Structure 1
Amino acid sequence: MSQASSAWSSSLNTNNPIPPSIPELSNGFRRVLAHIAGDGRLLTDPADCWAYGYDNSRRHALPQAVVFASDEEQILQLVSLCRDAGVPLTARGRGTGTTGATVPDRGGVVLSLERMDRILQIIPEDRLAIVQPGVLNAQLQQAVGDLGFFWPPDPTSAATCTIGGNLAYNSAGPRAVKYGTARESTLGLRVVTGRGEALRTGVMTTKGVVGYDLTRLIIGSEGTLAIITEATLKLTPLPETKRTLRATYKDIHAAAAAVSAIMAQPIIPCALEFMDASAIATVRHYAEFDLPDGAGAALMIELDGSAACIEESVSAVCAAARNAGLLELRRAESKEEIAALWKTRKALSPTLRHIAPKKINEDVVVPVSRMGEFIEGLEQLSQSTGIRIVNFGHAGNGNIHVNLLIDPDDPDEVARAAECLDAVFALVLRLDGTLSGEHGVGIEKRDFVGQELGPTALALMADIKRCFDPAGILNAGKGFPSP
């Protein structure tokens, strides 16, 4: 078993209480912390802090204190206190991440940003919104939607995830195939670095090349460089209309060929999702769906645009979707039909959680042209390791959610799953892909990062970390393997 696999396997059932090696916070530190936090904004009782030590991964660790952020000045004081005392500080939104990035596995203080939840300004004529990090994605979408706009990132957890978390992970969702990720939809930030300094990055305009692009550097850094206190977001006008299609194929190769053909023509779908044969079989086992017999893969296709041009777009995409392996191409004509077509895809995640509550959910990306080769490789790995693998995701940009369904109480299966995961990552890199598309690295993937990044890149990134956070207090130990 590789070192990375061993580290992953040994952590699978860990609840991660504070290890004895983590020192208690001094009385002096606690007094200053209470003063900085203010009334009603500090938790220190372990029973109260416990709820802030998790995210949507298998991991959970107890912080020694939780502070609820009120404003940037308070965060500046808190960072300076933790910097001088060498106390780890972990920023947290609503805990919807899946990689353990907000789990305080080194103890210290959790900084919850959930109460900094104000939409500060919406400027329709400049197509931008200025928000605090605790604003929910769905809350922002509602506010700007009333003015005829949307913010492109639309993760599945939009109803509960925060804008700050979306930026920390560079989250995207189905619309990224057409509209890009959080990086492409953010103009600037206000942050507090690990030095205890406030910093404004970016611009209020859609063009700007003065200095290095610190905005894009901080987005996706998972709170290891700076804590976001405000974001200036680029808004996109809502399309006039949408059309929804579902294409069903005899196998993944036919579906992958269709994805390549769709992405090679001028019309870009606003969503292009896929399910492989295992995903279809999984859902069918628990519910009735009207997919044709022999379905080995399915694509959900959504198009948006002007009412005058939408039918031409539909025709072009339908033509690209047709090949010898196509079994059925359906088009929704009403809200009820749209809901029916999406039913299969939306039922998948809950079904998988029912089958394997502690499934391994990996988020990888391969070039669209190699997606069929990747799924075929996963099928071979499933057969050779005896680990059931179910795949679905964002086919338009090759972002595949690879789900390993295992029993975490079976040591042999856990060991085989670890070897299988190693092989999955090796396959991704062999196909010129990347180990994380939108879920981040956190704890779950940090021991695998060296497989993708060379020593020169890792050393340079370590230097950047020291420049932003010389005391190493911000989300310590996340994102990169230990030296």
Structure 2
Amino acid sequence: MSELPADFVQQLHTLLGADLHRDSASLQAQAGDNSWREQRPALVACPRNLEQVQAVVRLCHAWRVPLVARGAGTGTTGAAVPTPGSVALVMTRMDRILAINPADRCAVVQPGVLNGSLQQALRPHGLFWAPDPSSFESCSIGGNLATNAGGPRAVRYGTSRDNVLGLKAVDGRGELIVCGGPWTKDATGYDLTHLLVGSEGTLAVIVEATLKLHPLPAARAGLRAFYRDAEAAAAAVARIMAQPVVPTVCEFLDARSLQLLRGNGATVPEAGAMLLLDVEGDEDSLPTLLGTVGSACEGEGLLEMDVATDGVARERLWAARRALSPALKTIAPGKINEDVVVPVSQMPALVAGVQALSARFALPIVTFGHAGNGNLHVNILYHPDDAGQNTRAQAALPEVFALVLALGGTLSGEHGIGLAKRDFMPAAFNPATLALMRAIKHAFDPAGILNPGKLLPPG
């Protein structure tokens, strides 16, 4: 553990008392996330209110001590992994739902509220918050906002950035920023709300969020379409997204995904690709909406299509998709999962390019994800204890990013940058753009204490 000045530690202890931890178990509990990266902090601070957050930030600013805000630690890019010699600011005790306002279709929450807990609290009001990452039961709202999390529903409802109305946050000097509010239109000044969402705790620490809510659908139906190849599936996605009825979910699974599902007992026919869709409406309109989306699925290369209008049948359609990520472990225990984005028209080129990389590096690579947004998860599978596979997996990663950028895409759709993709940012942005990002970082955090070394490459 890196030693911090004794006077600093004493002042922090005076501020937090029993909510400041330095025992080995507490430090280890906050050392990593789902990126497999790990670094113990020097101290763990667990504030209970805004005033404590401000006081901790001001103290760290004065002593130039790195401060890394953390939630549930479910991220995959290392964004919440502490910096050596840092204070881990754990926001899990600020976990209150402060207000649910059905008339304004918004909720006001603290950052430690879990996504799943919020959804349960909203259900009796006939409402929901749209972001639904796969970890929704255990991930926190603060983490969702920090990484601009999305999920399958993003094709219709957007990501976290599209579903937050206002924020309260503490900048790198300990000053309170208040931006946005319980309204859906605002042409007043700079849009700091949406700037802070996705900034991964490098600009400010979010302490309160006003979230945009949606009414629960009255009826839902599922549709599963199998295609000859990825090109036919991508063409169908283009047709689906070009007509007025936007599906709630539009998921893509490549041939290797389907092969894996069959190997694990799922009833999936031989095909080159599959689309899995959800459609929402009311009882009267749903058949028409489903028919419209189904017609868009038809076309060159369609092999088979299943429709599920009742809950049990729809659940069967989705069972295979939910089983896919766990099934990857049957191939290899190691996984590099990158959530890249390309234009929908370039999805076939991405899938073909990834499979060429799979052959070249002699590693299985499985591709699936949110086709309606062009946001696909490229999963490089390997055995971490095999030195050769480990080396090849790490060498394949920059090739994946180079392919994505060459196809006009971007590095992340919903996982963020963190440590995993930080060094690839100069390939995605020109020097002037990166310089402006660094200037924004300096304006919010002049001492550079907030989550240093994340998101922006050294420069």
Is TM (by shorter chain) over 0.5?
A: yes
Residue aligning to 2:268: 291
Q: CA deviation at 1:414?
A: 2.6
Q: Does structure 1 conserve the Cα–Cα contact (< 8 Å) formed by 2:236 and 2:296?
A: yes
Aligned to 1:177: 155
Task: Tell me, yes or no, if structure 1 residue 49 matches structure 2 residue 27.
Answer: yes
Given that residues 362 and 402 in structure 1 are in contact (C-alpha distance below 8 angstroms), is that contact kept between their aligned partners in structure 2? yes
2:425 is aligned with 1:453: no
What does residue 349 of structure 2 align with? 373
Q: CA deviation at 1:333?
A: 3.3
Q: Once the 2 structures are TM-superposed, how far is the Cα of residue 315 of structure 1 from its aligned partner?
A: 0.8
Question: What are the superposed Cα offsets for residues 13-61 of structure 1, whole Å, 9 maximum, x if unpaired?
Answer: xxxxx5xxx4x1122111111111133x111012321111110111011
Deviation at 1:372, TM superposition (A): 1.2
| Greater mean alpha carbon deviation, residues 42-51 or residues 221-230 | 42-51
Partner of 2:385: 409
Residue matched to 2:445: 469
Superposition deviation, residue 250 in structure 1: 2.1
SS in 2 for 1:402: strand
Paired with 1:356 and 1:470, the residues of 2 have a C-alpha distance of: 44
Cα contact 2:47–2:53 (8 A) shared by 1: yes
Residue 211 of structure 2 is matched in structure 1 by: 233
Contact 2:66 2:83 in 1 (8 A): no
Picking from 278, 285, 290, the partner of 1:302 is 278
**Which residue does 1:12 correspond to in 2?**
none
Question: Share of identical aligned residues, percent?
Answer: 52
Partner residue in 2 for 1:269: 247
Q: Which residue of 1 aligns with 2:4?
A: 25
| 1:110 Cα deviation after fit | 0.3
My pick for the range that moved more, 182-191 or 349-358, is 349-358
**TM value normalised by structure 2:** 0.98
Contact 1:387 1:420 in 2 (8 A): no
User: What is the aligned partner in structure 2 of residue 141 from structure 1?
Assistant: 119
Task: Measure how far apart 1:225 and its partner are.
Answer: 0.2
Q: Whole-Å Cα distance in 2 between the matches of residues 267 and 353 of structure 1?
A: 36
Query: What's the CA shift for 1:374?
Result: 1.1
Structure 1 equivalent of residue 259 of structure 2: 281
Q: CA deviation at 1:86?
A: 1.0
Partner of 1:6 in structure 2?
none
Corresponding residue number in structure 2 for 1:254: 232
Q: For 1:87-236, list aligned pairs within 5 A.
A: 87-236=65-214
Which aligned pairs between 1:281-430 and structure 2 lie closer than 5 A? 281-285=259-263, 287-292=264-269, 294-430=270-406
Q: Is the CA contact 1:46–1:64 (under 8 Å) kept in the aligned structure 2?
A: no
More moved, 217-226 vs 97-106: 97-106
Cα drift, residue 416 of structure 1: 2.3
String of CA shifts for 1:57-102, please: whole Å, max 9, x gaps: 1101111111112001000000011111111100000000000001
In the alignment, is residue 34 of structure 1 matched against residue 13 of structure 2? yes
- State the alpha-carbon separation in 2 of the partners of residues 333 and 291 from structure 1: 19
CA–CA distance in 2 between the matches of 1:42 and 1:352? 39
Distance 1:356 1:382 in 2: 14
Letter in 1 for 2:192: L
Q: In structure 2, what is the Cα distance between the partners aligned to 1:172 and 1:69?
A: 27
CA distance in 2, matches of 1:334, 1:108: 52
Match for 1:54: what amino acid?
A: G
Q: Is residue 60 of structure 2 the alignment partner of residue 82 of structure 1?
A: yes
Q: Deviations over 1:101-134 (max 9, x none)?
A: 0101323110111111100011111111100000
Separation of aligned partners in 2, 1:145 and 1:107: 42
Distance in 1, matches of 2:37 and 2:395, equals 20
Write the deviation string for residues 285-341 of structure 1: whole angstroms up to 9, x where unpaired: 2x222222x222111100002222211111111111012321211011332211211
Contact 1:240 1:304 in 2 (8 A): yes
Shift >6 Å, 4+ stretches: none
Whichever residue aligns with residue 38 of structure 1, its letter is G
Tell me the C-alpha RMSD between the 2 structures: 1.2
1:384 to partner: Cα distance: 1.9
Task: Please report how far the alpha carbon of residue 238 of structure 1 lies from its aligned counterpart in structure 2 after TM superposition.
Answer: 1.3
Deviation at 1:419, TM superposition (A): 2.9
1:438 to 2:452 alignment: no
Letter in 1 for 2:355: E
Contact 2:69 2:89 in 1 (8 A): yes
Say which SS state the counterpart of residue 436 (structure 1) adopts.
coil
2:334 match: secondary structure: coil
- Distance in 2, Cα, partners of 1:228 & 1:353: 35
Q: Contact conserved, 1:106 with 1:476, CA < 8 A, in 2?
A: no
Asked whether the 8 Å contact 2:333–2:382 carries over to 1, the reply is no
SS in 2 for 1:380: helix
Whole-Å Cα distance in 2 between the matches of residues 38 and 314 of structure 1?
58
- Whole-angstrom distance in 1 between the partners of 2:164 and 2:177: 16
- Secondary structure of 2:413's aligned partner: coil
Q: What residue in structure 2 maps to residue 13 of structure 1?
A: none
Cα deviation, residue 412, structure 1: 2.6
Q: Is the 8 A contact 2:261 2:320 kept in 1?
A: yes
Most deviating of 421-430 and 432-441: 421-430
Which residue of structure 2 aligns with residue 4 of structure 1? none
Q: CA deviation at 1:408?
A: 2.0
Would the aligned equivalents of 2:203 and 2:445 in 1 still touch at CA under 8 Å?
yes
One-letter identity of the residue aligned with 2:284: A
Structure 1 gap ranges (5+): 1-17
The question of whether the paired residues in 1 share the 8 Å contact of 2:335 and 2:381 is answered with: yes
Which amino acid is the alignment partner of residue 52 of structure 1? Answer: Q
The CA deviation string for residues 198-247 of structure 1, in whole angstroms up to 9 with x for no partner, is 11011221111111000000000000000000000111111211111111
> How many Å separate the matches in 2 of 1:75 and 1:432?
40
Residue type of the alignment partner of 2:399: A
